[in-house]
Amino acid sequence: MNNINSASCIKTQQTSEHLLFAKTSFSRSFLHLIEKIGDLFGSLISFARTSYGSFVKTSLTTKIDKLNIPYTNYPYTGSAIEQLLSNRCLRQTTIMEIVRLVNKDEDSPIHVISSFLFPPNPNVPLAIEKSNKNILMIPIIFKKQSCMGVDHIVMVTVNKQDKTLSYYDPKGYTIAERGEDKLVSGLKLKEFLGYVKKNYLDNTITAVIENIEKNQFDSHNCGVYAAAAIVSAATKDNNTYNPRLPALSLRESLIEYIVDKAPSQNTQNVQQSADYSDEETDEF
């Protein structure tokens, strides 16, 4: 994939290795159940490691204190840092804060479209977001997909020049496996990709690239991997934000990114819409 994940990428026609022998819907469902049980254990282990490994907070507390960011005026910067410091699922507001920082960075080669992080407003038609950047990244959310009953975020990336579409699910699932699943936008995945093809790729796709390597082994860090994918593409740094790194390392790197970007960008006025309120966001 283009600056998202360099781990394992395939063309659309291929299938995830961990499901190759699942010939029937029953066996496929059984494998998904086993994976969900594994995710539950992974979440418990991850939580224990985070609770024990408080070095993340210790190593960053001093640097964060030196920011002097007026959190009362810019609460989502502080909220994003706090959520990353914890081992909680990330809210849409945390992703939105990272999107805000990336989109305001003139040196970033990408533009992130955040319109699909929230349910649509039936009274407001969805506008096609324009950008002069060649690479567009679109985070989308599957509703209540994990065994813990939380949402699951994945990433769609389009290259307008090459007419390619990349799909990244940190669980390693492909479009074929999740094409019928519904997003918070109300569309099925395959319907959403049709929308992307029509509105951002002029109805032409030369190649579809998919990740088949499972990076996420718990039920609550998908937002971390999605955020790392965004920052990796924005900074062209595939090492610091490598999806093969533990989620704890990615959380720390994302905090470093926010710490570096927030002081200069937070001098600007931040518009906070009703859609951006904590009361209307879910965790994933």
Tokens of 117: 């992080």
Asked whether residue 265 is assigned to any structural domain, the reply reads yes
Asked whether residue 162 is assigned to any structural domain, the reply reads yes
Q: Residue 268 in contact with residue 239, Cβ under 8 Å? A: no
- The domain total for the chain is 1
Q: If you search the block for the tokens 């190759």, which residue do you land on?
A: 20
Report the pLDDT value the prediction gives residue 31, as an integer from 0 to 100: 63
Alpha-carbon distance 71 to 79, whole Å?
9
Asked whether residue 167 is assigned to any structural domain, the reply reads yes
Tokens of 119: 């349910």
Report the pLDDT value the prediction gives residue 79, as an integer from 0 to 100: 82
Q: Is the pLDDT of residue 225 over 50?
A: yes
Which range marks the domain in which residue 25 is found?
Answer: 9-121+128-271
Q: What is the dihedral of CA 178, 182, 187, 191, to 10 degrees?
A: 20
Asked whether residue 278 is assigned to any structural domain, the reply reads no
Average pLDDT over residues 49-54: 53
Direct distance between the N- and C-terminal alpha carbons of the chain, in angstroms, rounded to an integer: 23
> φ and ψ at 152, to 5 degrees?
-130, 125
Average pLDDT over residues 47-70: 53
What three-state secondary structure class fits 277?
coil
Quickly state the pLDDT bin for 91 (edges 50, 70, 90): confident
Mean pLDDT over the full length of the chain: 77
Asked whether residue 277 is assigned to any structural domain, the reply reads no
Tell me the per-residue pLDDT of 169-217, one tens digit each, with 9 for 90 and over: 999 999 998 999 999 988 999 999 999 999 999 999 999 999 989 999 8
Report the pLDDT value the prediction gives residue 120, as an integer from 0 to 100: 82
Asked whether residue 282 is assigned to any structural domain, the reply reads no
Task: Give the residue from 281, 271, 274 showing the smallest Cα distance to 117.
Answer: 281
The region of weakest confidence among 36-45, 173-182, 245-254, 271-280 is: 271-280
* CB half-sphere exposure, 26, CA atoms < 13 A: 0
Q: Is the pLDDT of residue 80 over 90?
A: no
Asked whether residue 87 is assigned to any structural domain, the reply reads yes
Exposed, middle or buried, 226 (CB in 10 Å: 0-12/13-18/19+)?
Answer: buried
Q: Which residue has the higher pLDDT, 142 or 262?
A: 142
Identity at 109, one-letter amino acid code:
P
Quickly state the pLDDT bin for 128 (edges 50, 70, 90): confident
Q: If you search the block for the tokens 């006025």, which residue do you land on?
A: 269
Average pLDDT over residues 1-24: 41
Q: Residue 141 in contact with residue 116, Cβ under 8 Å? A: yes
Asked whether residue 281 is assigned to any structural domain, the reply reads no
Write the CATH number for 134: 3.40.395
Report the pLDDT value the prediction gives residue 245, as an integer from 0 to 100: 93
